[in-house]
A = this chain, B = another copy of it.
Amino acid sequence: MARKASIIGGGVIGGGWAARFLLSGWDVAVFDPDPQAERKIGEVMANARASLPALSDGPMPAEGRLSFAKSVGEAVQGAEYIQESVSENLGLKHRVYAQIQEAAPTTPIGSSTSGFKPSELQEGAKNPAVIFVAHPFNPVYLLPLAEVVPSAKNDAKTIENAKEILREIGMFPLHVRKEIDAHIADRFLEAVWREALWLVKDGIATTEEIDEAIRMGFGLRWGQMGLFETYRIAGGEAGMKHFMAQFGPYLSAEWTKLMDVPEFNEELVDLIAGQSDAQSGHHTIRELERIRDQNLIGFLRVLKDRDWGAGKILKDHDKRRRATMPAPSPDTAQPMEMARMTVLPGWIDYNGHMTESRYLFASSETCDAFLRHIGADVAYVGTGFSYYTAETHIMHLGEAKLGDALTGTVQVLHADEKRLHIFIRILKDGSEVATLEQMLLHVDMKAGRTASAPQAILDRLLPIAEAHKALSRPAAAGRHVGQRKG
């Protein structure tokens, strides 16, 4: 039987928790008096279903069963874990805990509160030992962080058990050892929020300028290393102490309105430098730089693929560069050079070699450029017709490595109304690293069958096919796998 979680409060946060449990195979009972709760949770679930499975490399468990309870008592019946995400109102939370513990006095209750300390949540409870903070971050179904904050009244076993359940649903429980208002992360968010309000109010920057200042710079860093590891690198070979010697003095400068600062003495420097060593000392600064850079490239490539944020800048930069370069005008008297590529970090395996499927990727890029050249571009595909690859033969002849510059050429072996038989060479410094023979069929996508290409495309394709009849036929064309050479 599936395990059961109970979600009290079904807004964006409660819905995110429900989604994590359901997609991990748990049954979930939700209680929320809002008549819109079912719709709202449904919307969060739709987002979660469209995204969370993409993080897994294995099959997902069968989705759990979602139900909506008519009372808190009904919702918590048989639940192994309860997550409370009602409004940030302490009196309301206390009333909810009383109702929960009426029906389920020993079940662990995590609260999504960002503002209250566990000792405040526990006040007046029948069984305070099972109530603690489990503070998530929106979108709950994707971001791993949950700050788990106990008070002295919690027993260690309850907390360890809760952390295990959070790991079970893919989260990262950060055990906050001392309770404090706003836990840890929200102290930073609040500090930044206040500073941002001042900047907007004083007319220094707009919301958009502030967002750009974050996501084009330090925001990218913080997705992969936090504050201290980033600054450890900034300190360079001289390390964290050196960084602090540089940055420390600013604390007594008068340029901020946030003035109550800790004394920047030897003791604090040693404390931080020591903790930073324990955290990151197993990597050299050089290693950390490389790790950081590869992470940043990954992030930036993601944004480039999605044409968003910093990725837009990269796209614009490519466009700007292309504009200053001569346009390709492939010569039809020889195999036509249709694509130039650089072997990117995501293309290589743990040995540093280009991974097998990327040879077909490079070939597809070459073939796509050729299809665009004869008029079968994205706009054409939008009309419901396309060239589909039916069959491919690949010869692996050499190895490409990170950073290698590759070119892709196309030789047309045969073309008619429906068929396009081509031979693609992937070259590195003029030598073949792979050749690919392909049969493409012109397809009516809606009808799901082959169809004649329109005259406009044939007018561009057939003269190339005619010119390429003069080229010598590649030895690998017509070859089957395992055929003897010669």
Contacts and interface: CB of A to CB of B under 8 A. Distances in A.
Contacts of A255: 115, 181-182
A92 interface: no
Given A167-B317, A188-B196, A195-B191, A58 B356 contact: no
A450 interface: no
Contacts of A262: 194, 197-198, 201
Contacts of A473: none
A93 interface: no
A211 B246 CA distance: 20
Q: How many copies, total?
A: 2
B194 A261 contact: yes
A54 interface: yes
Interface string A200-211: 111111111111
A135 B211 CA distance: 16
B301 A54 contact: yes
Given A53-B342, A144-B313, 9 more contacts: A55-B297, A180-B202, A185-B217, A191-B256, A215-B225, A257-B260, A259-B260, A356-B364, A391-B393
Interface in A308-329: 308-310, 313-314, 316-318, 320-322, 325
A258 to B, nearest CB: 4
Interface residues of A, number: 179
Nearest to A322: B58
Nearest to A312: B172
Given A47-B290, A193-B247, A301-B55, A215 B207 contact: no
A386 B194 CA distance: 58
14 contacts: A50-B293, A51-B294, A56-B342, A57-B304, A145-B213, A184-B205, A185-B218, A194-B262, A206-B279, A207-B275, A215-B222, A215-B225, A392-B392, A439-B482
A344 B54 CA distance: 5
B224 A215 contact: yes
A12 B341 CA distance: 30
A230 B356 CA distance: 39
A200 B271 contact: yes
A289 B139 contact: yes
Interface string A376-390: 001001000010111
Nearest to A273: B207
A83 to B, nearest CB: 17
Contacts of A55: 297, 300-301, 304, 314
Contact of A318 (B58, B182, B271, B290): B58
A171 to B, nearest CB: 8
B206 A226 contact: no
Interface stretch (A73-81, A97-105, A126-134, A345-353): A345-353
Interface string A469-485: 00000000111111100
